[in-house]
Amino acid sequence: MFNPRCAFAQSILTIIATLAAASVIAGCAGSTSQFNPASAGVSSQSSAPAAINPDTSCRNAGGVRVTPCRVVFTPSSPNAQTVTVTTPNGEKGKIVEHDTCAVAGIATIAQAPSGQWTVTPGSTTGNCHARFNYFNNGQKVGWAVLRVQNMI
């Protein structure tokens, strides 16, 4: 039994499927290299600078910040680095630092003047962290974490 409504719907679906297939084939046939030969074979991920850090979140609470919150030592960047710890009340209160770096030999962290700390690479490769606890009026009211990676 021939149904004209079903035949019409079937031909519409056939046309849509054909157009969709043609679009996919046309999209795959083109290459960006014909417009820009330098970009041939380069993916968008591999063209990103290596210096971009995928870890964009800094762990902190209570208005305490450590900047930068991640330090990486490499053979091309082996020098000590300075980080700054800021608190919500400026100079009021006290920062107490605890780390897993020195015991492991990954890095040493020492206080410098005016809210700054010096991070120096150790002789052991690996990862560690330092936690800066902020006390005001004898109570811990905030903290921030510094992550350290030594690849030397």
| DSSP-derived secondary structure for 114-141 | TTEEEEEE-SS-EEEEEEEEEEETTEEE
Strand 139-150 with 70-73, pairing = parallel
Instruction: Report pLDDT for 95.
Output: 94
User: Would you say 152 and 105 are in contact if contact means Cβ atoms under 8 Å apart?
Assistant: no
pTM of the model: 0.63
- How buried is 44 (Cβ within 10 angstroms: 0-12 exposed, 13-18 middle, 19+ buried)? exposed
Flag the least confident range among 15-19, 54-58, 68-72, 84-88: 15-19
Q: Which of 122, 128, 126, 118 is nearest to 107 (CA)?
A: 122
Instruction: Report pLDDT for 85.
Output: 95
DSSP 39: G
Flag the least confident range among 19-23, 112-116, 148-152: 19-23
pLDDT-based confidence at 92, cuts 50/70/90? Answer: confident
Domains and CATH numbers, the chain: 60-150 (2.60.40.1080)
Q: Residue 64 and residue 135: Cα distance in Å, rounded?
A: 10
Tokens of 99: 């780390």
Element (H, E) at 22: helix 4-29
Count of other CB atoms within 10 angstroms of residue 1? 3
| Sequence letter at residue 122 | G
Q: How far is CA 117 from CA 19, 53, 86, 103, 110, in A?
A: 63, 21, 11, 18, 6
